[in-house]
Amino acid sequence: MSETLKMLNSLAATGLAKAEDIKNFAGVSLASLDRATFPIAQLDPKEEDAIKRVFYYGVSQLKKVAPSIAVDIERQYKLALAMAAVAKGTFPTRKNFSFPSVPSTGLGVAWLFPQAIKYAATTPTSYTTNSWDIPLTAGTNAYLLGSSTDYYKTCSDTDARSVILIFENGLVEVGTTPAIQQFRIVTESKGDYGAYAVEPLVDISVEPNKAIYQYPTPAGAFWVDYNTGVKWYFMPSKTGTSTIKMLGLVFYEHKFLADTKWVS
């Protein structure tokens, strides 16, 4: 067992972890909002291997296309491992991670993809179904998660539950010049948080000769589950369509991604 896993399992021994404890372990801030504690379960070495394998194959690809962003993400491995333990503690039936996931062990992990965010046609988000594209109208809020009327929760279907981790500074726009300076995050039980603004040079590409733009997440990494609804929205200053991708992981019960996924 690695020293990292020993430290994590010591943190998970009581079955509950404070956001501050996760931050101290991972070295990355976590936007806990109104969450005082998180359910957490211990992982075994095979589970650590599965999380590590998925995390680093994604980081390896990022290094090829966006090295500066890869630096930001690679330092968050311990957070990925910790939140896998939180996911395991959140799901109602105790199962173990493997890669690829199999029914006999029951839990899987993957990099975020459009159908992990908008997992049903009715899921509240401004994302176009099966796409990272968001239609924008200048002066009208657009929603990464949630809508003007509904809060966003991850999938809660029996044996197909999911939870998601969006890495710190893991919001990336590609292909167009960004037109977003203002964001807001609220939850069902904490609706009084104000908006935040990003620095004015986000419209400068982070990679030479590539249209890749990175938005900071000043509250840290963002955790979303099926128990607490959230809204994460922004105010665009242009009308059109933007491609905004979330860099993070989805942790799930096997049935959520037992086969390729298309939302209709």
Whether 191 shows a pLDDT value over 80: the answer reads no
pLDDT tens-digit map of 238-258: 999 999 999 999 999 999 999
Confidence band (pLDDT; 50, 70, 90) for 162? very high
Q: In this structure, what DSSP letter does residue 218 have? A: T
Q: Binning pLDDT at 50, 70 and 90, where does residue 179 land?
A: confident
Please indicate, yes or no, if residue 52 is contained in any of the structural domains: yes
Residue-level pLDDT at 107:
98
Q: Please return the burial class of 78, using the count of CB atoms within 10 Å of its CB with bins 0-12, 13-18 and 19+.
A: middle
SS3 letters across 120-146: CCCCCCCCCCCCCEEEECCCCCEEEEC
Report yes or no on 249 lying in a domain: yes
* Domain presence at residue 211: yes
Q: Are strands 240-253 and 162-174 parallel, antiparallel or unpaired?
A: antiparallel
Residue 55 falls inside a structural domain: yes
Asked whether residue 172 is domain-assigned, the answer is yes
Six-digit token pair at 168?
Answer: 């710190």
Question: What are the strands, taking DSSP E only, across the chain?
Answer: 16-18, 30-31, 37-39, 96-97, 106-111, 133-136, 142-145, 162-174, 180-187, 196-197, 212-215, 221-224, 230-236, 240-253
Q: How far apart are CA 113 and CA 86, in angstroms?
A: 20
Of 129, 138, 135, residue with least CA distance to 241: 135
In a domain, 240, yes or no: yes
Is-above-0.85 flag for pTM?
yes
Contact 81, 221 (CB under 8 A): no
User: What is the pLDDT, as a whole number, of residue 1?
Assistant: 85
The domain tally of the chain equals 1
Encode pLDDT of 7-36 as tens digits: 999 999 999 999 999 999 999 999 877 788
* Biggest CA-to-CA distance, the chain: 53
Strand partners, 51: none
Give residues with Cβ within 8 angstroms of 46, minimum separation 6.
Answer: 96, 97, 98
Please tell me the predicted confidence (pLDDT) of residue 9. 98
Output the pLDDT for position 193.
85
Q: Residue 211: pLDDT band by 50, 70, 90 thresholds?
A: very high
Range of the domain at 156: 3-255
Q: Which amino acid, residue 31?
A: A
Q: Assess contact for 48 and 73: CB atoms under 8 A.
A: no
Rounded to the nearest angstrom, the gap between the alpha carbon of residue 202 and the centroid of all alpha carbons in its chain is 21
Q: What is the mean pLDDT of the chain?
A: 95
Q: What percent of the chain has pLDDT over 70?
A: 100
Within a domain: residue 260?
no
The 10s digit of each residue's pLDDT in 64-73 is 999 999 999 9
From CA 82, how far away is CA 242, in angstroms rounded? 32
Distance CA 242, CA 261 (A): 23
In a domain? residue 119: yes
pLDDT value of position 216: 94
Q: Which range (9-23, 154-168, 178-192, 207-221) has the least confidence?
A: 178-192
Q: Could you tell me the two tokens for 171?
A: 């919001």
